[in-house]
Amino acid sequence: MEVLKEAIFTITKHVEDVAEGLGEEEVEALIDAILSSKKVFVYGAGRSGLVAKAFAMRLMHLGINVFVVGEIITPAIEREDLLITISGSGETTSVVNAAKIAKNIGAKVALITTYPNSSLGRLADIVVVVEGRTKLRGEKDFVMRQIKGEHYPLAPLGTLFEISVLIFLDALIVELMVRLGKTEEEMRTRHATIE
């Protein structure tokens, strides 16, 4: 239990540090882009992809026209749209490729990352920095890390980044609720009834 508690305290302290370090201008730019886009697409690989899906669900509950990249019902991205990418390293090949496609079409690209000077960071119109590990050891690409079996103690792999992003995006939903004048009761009307 000692290791478990130490891991929890490490993670919660990290989330507090992330909250303190968020760039207000970048977060405001992300909010503006979400509210002004015709369609919002979200994309991440691995656990970042799960975080993206959780965020997409809440955006849908708010009535935002949102899609998860890679799902079979996802439509084409267009110029008036926004692609929100989540990548701790900013180098995940599939996510970089998706951002390139979106940029070529003329859509806006947002990135949530630990590394703003990454390949994705250089492509993105909006970059929100969420600190993960202070140093990225080993391979930057998610798939290559999985193949090589690179793991880290207490908060293995991208845990600090992914949990921090999940909490940041859930808090962002609350901010959007306030700005849109939406209540939890209104959101509940869009909640799944067949599960």
pLDDT single digits (tens) 137-192 = 555 555 565 566 555 555 555 588 999 999 999 999 999 999 999 988 888 888 88
Contact 7, 14 (CB under 8 A): no
Domain map (residue ranges) of the chain:
2-136+155-179
Q: Tell me, what DSSP letter sits at residue 173?
A: H
Mean pLDDT along residues 17-30: 94
Contact 79, 105 (CB under 8 A): yes
- Quickly state the pLDDT bin for 135 (edges 50, 70, 90): very low
Q: Clarify whether 162 is annotated catalytic.
A: yes
Task: Output the pTM of the full model.
Answer: 0.86
Q: Residue 141's pLDDT is what?
A: 56
pLDDT tens for each residue of 52-61: 999 999 999 9
Mean pLDDT along residues 111-129: 97
Mean pLDDT along residues 2-22: 85
Distance (Å, whole) CA 118 – CA 87: 10
From residue 168, how far is each of 24, 172, 181 by CA, in Å? Answer: 13, 6, 20
Q: Which fold has domain 2-136+155-179?
A: Rossmann fold (3.40.50)
Q: Dihedrals φ, ψ of 86, to 5°?
A: -125, 115
Higher pLDDT, 147 or 41: 41
Q: Where are the beta strands (DSSP E) in the chain?
A: 40-44, 66-68, 82-86, 108-113, 126-129
- Quickly state the pLDDT bin for 132 (edges 50, 70, 90): confident
Which residue among 162, 175, 186, 195 is the active-site one? 162
Whether 3 shows a pLDDT value over 80: the answer reads no
From residue 151, how far is each of 6, 15, 159 by CA, in Å? Answer: 18, 20, 11
Q: Residue 14's pLDDT is what?
A: 83
Contact 88, 115 (CB under 8 A): yes
pLDDT tens for each residue of 70-111: 999 999 999 999 999 999 999 999 999 999 999 999 999 999
Q: Work out whether strand 66-68 and strand 40-44 pair parallel, antiparallel, or are unpaired.
A: parallel
